[in-house]
Amino acid sequence: MAIHFEELWEKCEIIQKDVCADISATSIIEEVILKLNLYKVLDAKSEIPLTELKKIRVRVLGEILLTMTGLSVKDNVDVYEALSMALQFRSLEQFQKKQA
């Protein structure tokens, strides 16, 4: 049974709430950076078959997102609002570039 992304995010935040209780935001950020660097290394791997590489990337990206839920719960960030604002600013930048 599929659930909405918002519900999935909230379930992850609930799990991360206990995990991240005694961890600093800086530690969570370092974990995100570590996982992003792993994703970056995977991007350079040409010897891994594409089907396997896709599975690995999905897993690593999932881990990145799960870690981000820890950061959002730690700092009490409304991720919907944050993403919506980022989209508005990015859309405005795109519009301004097209007008120039």
Domains of the chain, by residue range, sit at: 5-99
What does the pLDDT look like over 51-90, one tens digit per residue? 999 999 999 999 999 999 999 999 999 999 999 999 999 9
71 within 8 A of 93, measured Cβ to Cβ? no
What does the pLDDT look like over 80-98, one tens digit per residue? 999 999 999 999 888 787 8
1: pLDDT strictly greater than 90: no
Confidence of residue 13 (pLDDT cuts 50, 70, 90): very high
39: pLDDT strictly greater than 80: yes
Question: Whole-angstrom Cα distance, residue 36 to residue 73?
Answer: 20
Please tell me the predicted confidence (pLDDT) of residue 2.
Answer: 87
- HSE toward the beta carbon, residue 17, CA cutoff 13 A: 9
